[in-house]
A and B are shown apart, each in its own frame.
Chain A
């Protein structure tokens, strides 16, 4: 999902970079305020851990292999603000050390993988682990959070590519999101396996769900929503372009002589009702299947709930 150089145009790069800088600054502010001083080195070690974990290859069918991305996992282990800082550091290193992801696309990549993925991941993780109790619930929550964060990041990525005009939405959306709905299953499974391994070895590391005050939830939620409105909404829904709608609402649509139109208007508009509905339906079905898989996987993995619950309660 690392976007190389030359794939995003100036407006997308600037908009995504602004959102990424906002997210990163907010995360740094929160880490500085709320993370205990003794856990600060854990950020650097966490970044090294994510980097090293990404090098472990997991075999998939036919000689191919995949690896962990880790946004949701590290968010579940360290909390969202720390995860944003950690994944950003990893992305900067990958960009300058290995040219994984372009320099001009760095802001875009940071927004997708270091802001959207951990924030969506932690939101889903907290929601599901409240719904399903115990270690089993936590493992299921990590698995589903891994899937959701992967799909959300790929959605943002597809939107940015389409908004830049590099790849049409009609190609980018099914290619990126469709494939990542499958990749997300692997990400979720690996995240759950690793989380379970950590919980078995050191239950106190996973027992405390990372604290995230309501206010910061609003802040991050706002960032993700702005991103989605900016990058994906013009294509995914029959409403007018997100910016245009905002402009109309704020009453300065006359200020802009040429309202900014979605680049693919003609391409998407015909039959958008049914196509949009089908897409939404496919998304809902996919999410339900992923959730079912996550719960099933957690039952398979965490055999003896009572024993695990006791060990985590004891520590």
Chain B
């Protein structure tokens, strides 16, 4: 099972989200199916229940805090990610203030949004993405979608590294600093990335055929 690799400071994704291969999966005794089920229950429950049933929200919060503080989840990247996404929740909660009496009201929106956000992030922290295609295949998601997801996970980091290499190469060769990160250069990099991706796809097809895929 390959790990999740992200290592780019210019991206919104915290570099610590990239567990290196061999790092132990937290709560490995719980099958990913069950983790997914618990996460879905928590999220759906939180999103549906009114704030008047506060014991659900408090219970969910306590469970999440227990998992987060169990010492098996890296807290710093989690906090960064929460901080990064919080403005979106706050913005929509702010928009709900204007809405008036018919809506659920901004405290509900903010509480639901925040709690669900934390649930998904903690789920992502304790479940490697590489485990998801297997789970989806077992619960009957169409094979084509699962294959696409597995291939995306396999090659995402390859392509991200490739685009970074191309950008570095461009930076070395472009003398006028003004054009270094211009739109044209970036688009050129993305266009090349597509060309390379489609070339790679053809090679992968041959490799898959060689291994008996049909």
Interface residues of A (CB under 8 A from B): 2, 4-7, 9-10, 24-25, 28, 31-32, 37-49, 51-53, 55-59, 68, 77, 85-86, 88-90, 92-93, 95-100, 102-104, 161, 165-168, 171-172, 175, 189-190, 193-198, 200-202, 205, 263-264
Residues in A with CB closer than 8 Å to B92 are 4, 7, 161, 166-167
* Given A6-B109, A77-B194, A166-B96; A98-B40 close (CB under 8 Å): no
List 6 A-B pairs, minimum CB-CB distance, nearest first: A44-B151, A197-B191, A6-B112, A5-B116, A193-B187, A47-B152
Q: Of residues 128 to 163 in B, which have CB atoms within 8 Å of A's CB atoms?
A: 129, 132, 142, 144-145, 147-156, 158-160, 162-163
Closest CB in chain B relative to A1 CB, distance in Å: 10
Residue numbers in A under 8 Å from B98 (CB-CB): 167-168, 171
* Residues in B181-214 with C-beta less than 8 Å from chain A: 181, 183-184, 186-195, 197-198, 200-202, 204-205, 208, 214
Residues of A within 8 A of B162 (CB): 52
| Cβ distance B27 to chain A, nearest Cβ, rounded Å | 16
Looking at the complex, which one of B46, B150, B154, B197 makes contact with A6 (CB distance below 8 Å)? B46
Q: Are B148 and A85 in contact (CB under 8 A)?
A: yes
How far is it, in angstroms, between the C-alpha of A42 and the C-alpha of B194 when the chains are bound? 10
Q: Give the interface SS of chain A, mostly helix, strand, loop or mixed.
A: helix
Q: Write out the residue numbers on chain B whose beta carbons fall within 8 Å of the beta carbon of A5.
A: 43, 46-47, 112-113, 116-117, 120
Decide if A102 touches B194 in the complex (CB within 8 Å). Answer: no
Chain B contacts for A46, CB-based, 8 A: 197, 201
> Which of B40, B95, B124, B152 gathers most chain A CB within 10 Å?
B152
Query: Across the interface, do B192 and A197 meet the contact criterion of CB distance under 8 Å?
Result: yes
B74 at the interface (CB under 8 A from A): no
Known: A96-B129, A167-B92, A263-B102. A6 touches B47 (CB 8 A): yes
Report the nearest B residue to A172, measured CB to CB. B95
A43: chain B residues at CB < 8 Å are 144, 147-148, 151
A44–B148 touching, CB < 8 Å: yes
Are A38's CB and B205's CB within 8 A?
Answer: yes
Interface majority SS on B: helix, strand, loop or mixed?
helix
Bound together, the chains give a CA A96 to CA B122 distance in angstroms of 10
Q: List 14 A-B contacts (CB under 8 A).
A: A28-B144, A37-B205, A39-B201, A44-B147, A45-B204, A51-B159, A56-B189, A90-B152, A95-B120, A96-B120, A100-B85, A104-B44, A175-B95, A196-B187
Task: Tell whether, in the assembled complex, residue A198 and residue B194 are in contact, meaning their CB atoms are under 8 Å apart.
Answer: yes
Task: Name the residue of chain B whose CB is nearest to the CB of A162.
Answer: B99
Q: How far is the CA of A28 from the CA of B146 in the complex (A)?
A: 11
A55 touches B11 (CB 8 A): yes
Q: What number of A-B contacts does a CB cutoff of 8 Å give?
A: 247
Q: How many residues on the B side are at the interface (Cβ–Cβ under 8 A)? A: 81
With A43-B148, A172-B95, A198-B191 given, name 20 new contacts (CB 8 A): A7-B113, A25-B142, A28-B142, A28-B144, A37-B214, A43-B151, A45-B152, A45-B200, A45-B204, A57-B10, A93-B129, A99-B124, A165-B104, A171-B98, A198-B195, A200-B191, A201-B191, A201-B192, A205-B194, A263-B102
Q: Is B67 an interface residue (CB 8 A)?
A: no
Which residues from chain B contact A31 at a C-beta distance below 8 Å? 144
Let me know if B103 is at the binding interface, CB within 8 A.
yes
B83 sits at the interface (CB 8 A): no
B184 touching A193 by the CB < 8 A rule?
Answer: yes
**A202 contacts across to B, CB distance below 8 A:** 195, 198
Smallest beta-carbon distance B42→chain A, Å: 9
Cross-chain contact A32 with B204 (CB below 8 angstroms)? no
A99 to B174 CA separation, bound complex (whole angstroms): 37
Q: Which of B61-117 contact A (CB under 8 A)?
A: 81, 85, 88-89, 92, 95-96, 98-100, 102-104, 108-109, 111-113, 115-117
State which of B102, B158, B184, B202 has its C-beta within 8 Å of the C-beta of A48: B158
B144 & A85 in contact (Cβ 8 Å cutoff): yes
Q: Which residue of B lies closest to A169 (CB)?
A: B99
Q: Of residues 26 to 44 in B, which have CB atoms within 8 Å of A's CB atoms?
A: 39-40, 43-44
Residue B60 CB within 8 A of the other chain: no
Contacts of A4 in B (CB 8 A): 85, 88-89, 92, 113, 116-117
A289 CA to B129 CA in the complex, in Å? 43
